Amino acid sequence: MTTTCSAPGKIYLFGEHAVVYGEPAIACAVELRTRVIAKKSNEITISSDIGTTKLDFDMHPYVSSAIRKLGSPDVFIEITSEIPVGSGLGSSAAVTIATLSAINIEFGLGYEKEELAKMGHEIEKEVQGAASPTDTFVSTFGGVVEIPSRKRLNLLDCDVVIGNTNKGASPKKTAKLVQQVARLKEEHPDIINPIIKTIGSFAKQGELMVSQKNYTSLGKLMNVNHGLLDALGVSTMELSALVYAARNAGAYGAKLTGAGGGGCMVALSDSPREVAEAIEKAGGRAIITRATPEGVIQI
Ligand code: PMV
């Protein structure tokens, strides 16, 4: 028997960085997936684009940690992914959750999804030092979700266009940028604290707009959110160039997604090809995708 599971990546509509200080955020699973095949074997093997290894916490830290978390069964694991790595789209959460789920089914371990999400978050913390539960939660359950309440909102009906700067991709980037914002906050609390509070307030307003499917207003707020992330110092010239290109091509709104400092931006649009073309012209790699209600699934 073999078991194949896939788990989605995610974008933030609102609230990255502020969520670190307890403010609400809205994240959305997207139809870009990491697929993991698990097969009972007589040794542990992990095979991916990076290469083929045994348990290897340098080359395959998330998958090795997931195997160990489930008691180190002898398993052959093969990974393929559509999610750019270390670019703010939750690639590490997706591979972790898909691996946990595939091994869980292949070996009949009987864990519930809730438990897999919790293990996934623990693994992200072990590997990265710090991680919010957002990525692993959204990758497990899918949909548009308010954090930390976990309230599930309406699915987005419009297209989601992701623009990758192809710069600054690194799993360590998130920790560095979170520290950078923390320093700025310490230096200028009177100025930075209200910005963080304002970013938190987008989630409440955004929730209403998502439920009304009012993408014009939602997009405008995403634009304001991008401006405030820029004010926190986490945008880059390349990210903002892609954000402006997407807006000029008619997107409802566009902002960086995730930690920033490079990585990806996201735009909502009903004319995704025009927006994607503009992003490519501005030097980015565009991906047209959709929100997905589906978290980790067996395929
Ligand atoms: O770049 P990502 O997808 O890891 O997102 C980071 C989001 C932050 O709010 C900056 C940090 C966090 O753990 O929530």
Q: What is the pLDDT of residues 186-242, one digit of tens each?
A: 999 999 999 999 999 999 899 999 999 999 999 999 999 999 999 999 999 999 999
Query: One of 49, 58, 74, 135 is an active-site residue; which one?
Result: 135
The predicted model gives 28-39 an average pLDDT of 98
Ligand 1 binding residues, C-beta < 6 A: 16-17, 19-20, 88, 90, 131-132, 134-135, 174, 178, 258-259
Q: What is the pLDDT of residue 266?
A: 98
- How far does the centroid of ligand 1 lie from the alpha carbon of residue 97, in Å? 17
Instruction: Tell me the one-letter amino acid at 104.
Output: N
Where are any strands of DSSP class E within 179-247? none
Ligand 1, atom nearest to 89 Cα: 3
256 φ, ψ to 5°? Answer: -70, 160
Say whether domain 2-153 belongs to CATH 3.30.360.10.
no
Each residue's pLDDT tens digit, 119-135: 999 999 999 877 788 99
pLDDT score at 168: 80
Atom of ligand 1 nearest to the CA of 130: 13
Clarify whether 49 is annotated catalytic.
no
Distance 20 CA to ligand 1 centre (A): 8
Q: What is the mean pLDDT of residues 154-180?
A: 90
Question: Mean pLDDT over residues 129-151, rounded?
Answer: 92
pLDDT value for 131: 79
DSSP-derived 3-state class of residue 7: strand
Q: Which residue has the tokens 């830290």?
A: 61
pLDDT, residue 132, reads 81
What does the domain layout of the chain look like in residue ranges? 2-153, 159-289
Tell me what pLDDT residue 129 has: 76
Mean pLDDT of the chain: 95
237-248 vs 215-231: helix crossing angle, rounded to 10 = 160
What pTM does this model have? 0.94
Fold for the domain defined by 159-289: Alpha-Beta Plaits (3.30.70)
- The CA distance from 274 to 278, in Å, is 6
Containing H/E element for 289? strand 285-289
